Amino acid sequence: MSSSFGTLFRLTTFGESHGAAVGAVVDGCPSLLPISVEEIQRELDRRRPGQSKLVTQRKESDTVEVLSGVLDGVTLGTPIAMLVRNEDARSRDYEEMRTKYRPSHADFTYDQKYGVRAWSGGGRASARETVGRVAGGAIAQKLLSVRWGVEVVAWVSRVQSVGSEVDEATVSRSDVDANDVRCPDAKAAGAMVSLIEGVRKDGDSVGGVVCCVVRGAPAGWGEPVFDKLEADLAKALLSLPACKGFEVGSGFGGTELTGTQHNDAFRSDDGKSAYTKTNKSGGIQGGISNGMPILLRAAFKPTATVMHEQETVTTGFENTTISGRGRHDPCVLPRAVPIVEAMVALVLADHGLRQDACRHNGGK
């Protein structure tokens, strides 16, 4: 099983949903980067369960322990190991899943691949694994900010059929975190909350879309041909639990335009740099950043666990039924926002370091 991601800035996550702990090791972070436990904890707090009635009520403090790689508030350039202990696993809720496959979960496929699975809580297939991604992403975001002045902001743009209108140029992290659903459009957020509360009471679930903007990424990041920037971003986001779709720039909507309508015309105001008058490319052309804001969207399916009886089979392939148990998110989107930011930051930190190495002069 591959649990590592990145080339120069590399993240490895470990742990199962109902094991002793989850965590991550970040390797390749430059030395002397100022980082505090509080900064990492702040991102984990945005992801943790139990933070509102819209998410799973599993009670985890998600308190991070930095075991190595940081001394006196700065990175050492050596591997940074981070641990978060599981405090509120209830394996008894999953006893039925020991011998039955849950619809649209990874139970069946993990069994087919490995011949064994962590049936309690879903093991590595659980969103609990993303604790390590967010911890590593917090370090990546700090590196992006300090070294290149790059900012990453994500938000919930749609829950099922309830959409929002957001100014991508100005939306801020504080705007996003102003409500439990993490949608900076207050009117739409209210409708989203009502929708999620309704499906939760019905024992059901809904999905939607998370948007993300990256500001300040310089031109030149990305590695053609196979490590194109959007290709690595797509891999990062599609590796998230429940993520089923990815778009950058105009995305699928661009197929409805002509080339003339879709092209981003260039302009220079100082004779030394250029920008595009529009941004249908989403800040990436030829797999390389062009200096414009990077715009992307990730689609998340409805949570697979629902509190209704469904058809399934046993591990011996006998037809049976199963009903959802335990504590689950009726909608993954509010907690997906910091996870999307983390994965985008990990990709960009990696490509920033790769570009610096490519140019041999700090990318200038």
Q: Does pLDDT of 215 surpass 70?
A: yes
Which structure tokens are listed for 341? 């930011």
**91, 20 Cβ separation under 8 angstroms:** no
Helix 130-143 to helix 333-359 angle (10° resolution) is 50
Asked whether residue 110 is assigned to any structural domain, the reply reads yes
Please, which residues have CB within 8 angstroms of residue 276's CB and are 6 or more apart in sequence? 264, 265, 266, 267, 290, 292
At 1-38, the pLDDT tens digits run 589 999 999 999 999 888 889 999 999 999 999 999 99
- CA dist list (Å): 208 to 79, 169, 231, 252, 336: 36, 22, 22, 16, 11
The domain total for the chain is 1
Per DSSP, which regions of 74-147 are E strands?
Answer: 74-75, 80-85
Question: How confident is the model over 322-355, as pLDDT tens digits?
Answer: 987 666 788 999 999 999 999 999 999 999 999 9
> Does a structural domain hold residue 68?
yes
- The CATH number assigned to the domain holding 204 equals 3.60.150.10
Q: Is the pLDDT of residue 300 over 50?
A: yes
Q: What pLDDT score does 92 carry?
A: 66
State mean pLDDT over 206-233. 97
How many other CB atoms are found less than 10 A from the CB of residue 303? 23
Which of 57-71, 218-232, 346-360 comes out lowest in average pLDDT?
57-71
Take residue 190 and report the two structure tokens written for it: 């209210």
Model-level pTM? 0.94
> What average pLDDT does the segment 286-298 reach?
98
> Is position 146 within any domain?
yes
Token representation of residue 115: 């011949």
The one-letter amino acid code at 80 reads: I
Residue 32 lies in a domain: yes
Q: If you average pLDDT over residues 212-228, what whole number do you get?
A: 96
Model confidence at 359, pLDDT cuts 50, 70, 90, reads confident
Q: Place 90 in a pLDDT band, splitting at 50, 70 and 90.
A: low
- pLDDT at residue 89, as a whole number: 65
Q: Give the whole-angstrom CA distance, residue 322 versus residue 308.
A: 8
| Token pair recorded at residue 196 | 């999620």
282: left (phi over 0), alpha (psi -120 to 50) or beta: left
Secondary structure class of 11 (helix, strand, coil): strand
The answer as to whether 199 is a domain residue is yes
User: Could you give the percent of the chain with pLDDT greater than 90?
Assistant: 79
Q: Enter the DSSP assignment of 9.
A: S
Q: Answer positive or negative: Cα dihedral of 323, 50, 177, 24.
A: negative
89 lies in which domain range? 4-359
Do you know the residue count of the chain?
364
CA distance 252 to 254: 5
Find all residues with CB under 8 Å of 169, minimum gap 6, and list them: 293
Is 70 exceeded by the pLDDT of residue 247? yes
Residue 364: inside a domain: no
Query: Do β-strands 162-163 and 309-313 pair in parallel, antiparallel, or remain unpaired?
Result: unpaired
User: What's the pLDDT at 363?
Assistant: 46
Closest CA to 339 of 134, 183, 164: 134
Tell me whether residue 212 is in a domain. Answer: yes
Give the CB-side neighbour count of residue 325, counting CA atoms within 13 A.
14
Look over the chain and give the mean of its residue pLDDT values, rounded to a whole number.
Answer: 92
